[in-house]
Amino acid sequence: MNYKFTEIHQEAPDHDCDFIINFPGGKQLVIQLRPSNAALDYNGSLDVILPYSMNIGCYKGDDLEEADVLGQPNHLFAKQIIAELPTY
């Protein structure tokens, strides 16, 4: 098997933007940075929009440790995932 790996780095602008990943089959994944919806004690939103609703898992840390449940299960069926932006 011929294994290839590519790492792409892109600086985020200081305003709203979308990063769009086009897959070979035509599907798209969109990562939205929305500092414009920031509020007191909230940096704005980071949205990941999948090509279609699918099973997703949520983990904490870098070692796939199950995420803490905050009133809802950590395995979901979803198309859009929303989190707070890191300090912008």
Read off the pLDDT of residues 31-53 as tens digits, 9 standing for 90 and up. Answer: 999 999 999 999 999 999 999 99
CA distance 34 to 31: 10
Distance of CA 9 to the CA centre of its chain: 15
Is the pLDDT at 71 greater than 80? The verdict is: no
- Mean residue pLDDT of the chain comes to 91
Place 88 in a pLDDT band, splitting at 50, 70 and 90: low
* pTM for this entry: 0.85
Is the pLDDT at 80 greater than 90? The verdict is: yes
The answer to whether residue 7 sits within a structural domain is no
The answer to whether residue 28 sits within a structural domain is yes
The answer to whether residue 34 sits within a structural domain is yes
The answer to whether residue 78 sits within a structural domain is yes
How many domains would you assign to the chain? 1
The answer to whether residue 4 sits within a structural domain is no
Neighbours of 51 (CB within 10 A): 14
